[in-house]
């Protein structure tokens, strides 16, 4: 998401944009996305500083760390970013900062649900689907 500095009115503004996870470079081996990443930004500029409050929403697709099933989980993140703006600067690209904040927030061991029972260590059966014979 790029913000053109000359377009921000004195009283600030709200910008909304959808970007693909690929454009933001959010996908990893374990984490994919379904559909676009929705970004809402409340932007204000004071002389040489830009402050942005962001609300980011997306549908993440990943694999459960316990039962190894793939599942979708909503991702929602609020961030505040601040930039100092040089006299010559025309636009600011928020993409790298948004990317970093989102990727840092990825769960190390995602769970398909809080009470996921995982796999039987003996036979490997997914215990969410029922008991095994072990």
Kindly list the residues in this chain that would bind Zn ion in the complex (CB under 5 A): 64, 66-67, 112, 116, 120, 122-123, 132, 134
What's the Rg (C-alpha) of the chain?
Answer: 20
86 CB-side CA count, 13 A: 3
Tell how far CA 102 is from the center of its chain. Answer: 4
* Chain position carrying tokens 């900062």: 97
C-beta of 83 vs 106, nearer to Zn ion: 106
Q: How far is the CB of 130 from Zn ion (least distance, A)?
A: 11
C-beta of 29 vs 133, nearer to Zn ion: 133
Q: What is the DSSP string of 25-71?
A: T---SS-EEEEEEEEEEEEEEETTEEEEEEEEEEEEEEE-TTT--EE
C-beta of 50 vs 64, nearer to Zn ion: 64
Q: How far is the CB of 68 from Zn ion (least distance, A)?
A: 7
Q: How far is the CB of 128 from Zn ion (least distance, A)?
A: 6
Q: How far is the CB of 111 from Zn ion (least distance, A)?
A: 6
């Amino acid at each position: 998401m790029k913000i053109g500095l000359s377009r921000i009115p004195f009283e600030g503004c709200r910008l909304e944009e959808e970007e693909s996870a690929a454009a933001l470079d959010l996908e990893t081996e374990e984490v994919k996305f379904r559909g676009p990443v929705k970004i809402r930004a409340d932007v204000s500029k004071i002389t040489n500083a830009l402050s942005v409050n962001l609300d980011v929403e997306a549908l993440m697709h990943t694999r459960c760390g316990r039962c190894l099933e793939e599942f979708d989980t909503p991702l929602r993140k609020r961030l505040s970013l601040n930039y100092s703006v040089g006299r010559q600067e025309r636009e600011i690209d928020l993409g790298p900062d948004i990317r970093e904040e989102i990727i840092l927030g990825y769960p190390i061991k995602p769970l398909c649900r809080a009470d996921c029972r995982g796999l039987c260590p003996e036979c490997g059966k997914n215990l969410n689907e029922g008991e095994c014979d072990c």
